[in-house]
Amino acid sequence: MESPQKRALIIGAGPAGLTAGYELQARTDIEPIIFEMDDCFGGISRTINYKGNRMDLGGHRFFSKSDRVMEWWGNIMPLGKLEEGKIIEPQVNDQRTAQGQTDDEAMLVRNRSSRILYLGRLFDYPIRISLLTIKYLGLIRFFRISGSYLWVRMFPIKEERNLEQFFINRFGKYLYLIFFKDYTEKVWGVPCSDIKAEWGAQRIKGLSFKEAISHAIKSKMKKQTDIAQKEVETSLIDRFLYPKYGPGQLWDSVATRFQSSGGQIIKNSEVIGIDWSDKESVSVTVKNHLTGDINEYQGNVLISSMPLKELIARMKNEVPLEVKKVAEGLVYRDFITVGLLLKDIKIKDKGEFKDGGNLPPDNWIYIQEKGVALGRLQIFNNWSPYLVANQEHVWVGLEYFCNEDDSLWGMSNTDFIEFAIAELVSLGMIMKEYVLDSTIVRVPKAYPAYFGTYEHIDILKNYLNSMENIHPIGRNGMHKYNNQDHSMLTAMTTVDNIISGEGTKTDVWSVNTEQKYHEKRNEN
């Protein structure tokens, strides 16, 4: 008699959950079922379509130093490439056409441009030392930046206990105060001295003042011909891949392939209970938000990308008190994007305002100005022209960071949009009459924070590692501020371990903790 087919219950249809389902379906006989709270796919990597204008929540560069991830993306969508420094956009060949792909299903190569708004001026990010930079800063500030950097090179902080010390060691105290402190504290809502240094080790790794200057010199001397840019610090890459219609386009394609091959994605369904029996058995209780129906699903493996705090809270098993306390104390930062459709924008560039059809080149502009809550401005036209319905318009996203219990989150949508418009007017970037249309999107638990009870997170890891068939993956699932490629790698590595029967999960937790990306074997 044949043994019954094994089943994997997967929580969340974001990059991690969809990757896990897709990998299990392609490489095993395990039946994957994905439960998604929303009615769309991609998690925070989804694309919002507002009257034909598309919004990317936070901005998602498709770039990875992992060959495995790059090849995975290329299997879903043909990738643009560089040849002799020139951008070659992908064409859909006969084989892909036979698979149902169209010219719209392609990854574009995009130039990366980010700047910092400080003292009413725009500075390159990462910082580049040029005559214009020195002019904008003034000689006194420039010498203070240089002096504080040289000082910390001679007398570095030996034990980095917090993010402030992490920044100072790499940029000097004065440059940190000018270009990093205010923006970072807008993002997290607490002083940098209260944030664990591990955040910097994960997010900006090898980036430093020295590395930024070195990269600026090398990039002028040598044309970049490899889109992978493996020798370049991630924060310094010059180009990246991007789906024509935003990140959600890729994840919609993954979900379509998964479902067309027999995979189940149950949308509008929240996992409200988890019952772990043993290493071969686990069940989830699921509530459908549309019908109110509550159903139970049995499985052999649970793969979870839901917030780690909620995973523990929903366990029906008796959870140790210290584990509960750590989970309850985990902190998240919430995110609001206001989309503004503009007939014009004016950006203070090289000392002068440029009006009328002079679209700035930036993907992001970081707002390092005091007196406004705005953290970052996205210009969607520069991510992909296909995100904008009318090319004569400017389509921007104003990004705010807050908590669900604070005054920003509590504002009505109408009031918040008016507030955001007023801030952009105060910065001199628009006049109120430029605004043609607007919308707002709120994302709770967008960023897992490295404070609260985070310093005790090993207690959670050890508890979950003791349950061989429960596998946390992804950004919120592991409470790690991962990029989407890292989230995918946690899913891929988890599937590797399920296939091999390895009991350890330490290799999953180690993704994106070292200087080089962690890459696992690819077992088929």
Question: Structure tokens of 295?
Answer: 């159903």
* pTM flag (> 0.85): yes
| The pLDDT value given to residue 85 | 47
| The pLDDT value given to residue 507 | 86
Most confident of 312-316, 368-372, 504-508: 312-316
Mean pLDDT across 275-300: 94
Four-point Cα dihedral 51, 347, 208, 214, nearest 10: 110
Higher pLDDT, 102 or 376: 376
Assigned superfamily of 7-46+250-329+453-509: FAD/NAD(P)-binding domain (3.50.50.60)
Cβ atoms of 391 and 385 within 8 Å: the answer is yes
CATH classification number, 331-449, choose in 3.40.50.10800, 3.90.660.10, 2.30.29.30, 3.20.20.220: 3.90.660.10
The angle, 0 to 180 degrees and rounded to 10, between the axes of the packed helices 247-260 and 15-27 is: 30
| Tokens 């309850």, located at residue | 328
* Measured distance CA(378)–CA(359) in Å, rounded: 12
Q: Which region among 91-100, 234-243, 255-264, 396-405 has the lowest average model confidence (pLDDT)?
A: 91-100
Question: Structure tokens of 422?
Answer: 């007023």
Question: Structure tokens of 136?
Answer: 């904008």
| The pLDDT value given to residue 297 | 97
Q: Which region among 3-17, 63-77, 99-113, 230-244 has the lowest average model confidence (pLDDT)?
A: 230-244
Question: Structure tokens of 289?
Answer: 């938000």
| The pLDDT value given to residue 123 | 87
Mean pLDDT across 390-403: 95
Residue 188 neighbours by CB under 8 Å, 6+ apart: 195, 333, 401, 447, 449, 451
| The pLDDT value given to residue 210 | 56
Tell me which residue of 76, 81, 65, 80 sits closest to 42, measured CA to CA: 76
The residues with which 365 forms a beta bridge, in sequence order, are 115, 377
Look at residue 130 and give its three-state secondary structure.
coil
Report the percent of the chain where pLDDT is more than 70.
82
Rounded to the nearest integer, the mean pLDDT of the chain is 85
Cβ atoms of 379 and 359 within 8 Å: the answer is yes
Burial class (CB within 10 angstroms; exposed 0-12, middle 13-18, buried 19+) of 268: middle
| pLDDT at position 220 over 90 | no
Under the banding of pLDDT at 50, 70 and 90, the label for residue 358 is: low
Under the banding of pLDDT at 50, 70 and 90, the label for residue 229 is: low
pLDDT tens across 446-488, in order? 999 999 999 999 999 999 999 999 999 999 999 998 889 999 9
Higher pLDDT, 124 or 23: 23
Strands 264-266 and 31-35: parallel
Question: Structure tokens of 60?
Answer: 């998602």
For the chain, give every domain's residue range. Answer: 7-46+250-329+453-509, 123-221, 331-449
| pLDDT at position 206 over 60 | no
Mean pLDDT across 279-293: 94
| The pLDDT value given to residue 353 | 35
For residue 393, the 8-state DSSP code is S
Tell me which residue of 518, 7, 486, 85 sits closest to 280, measured CA to CA: 7
| The pLDDT value given to residue 135 | 79
* Measured distance CA(21)–CA(10) in Å, rounded: 7
Strands 394-402 and 330-342: antiparallel
Cβ atoms of 376 and 56 within 8 Å: the answer is no
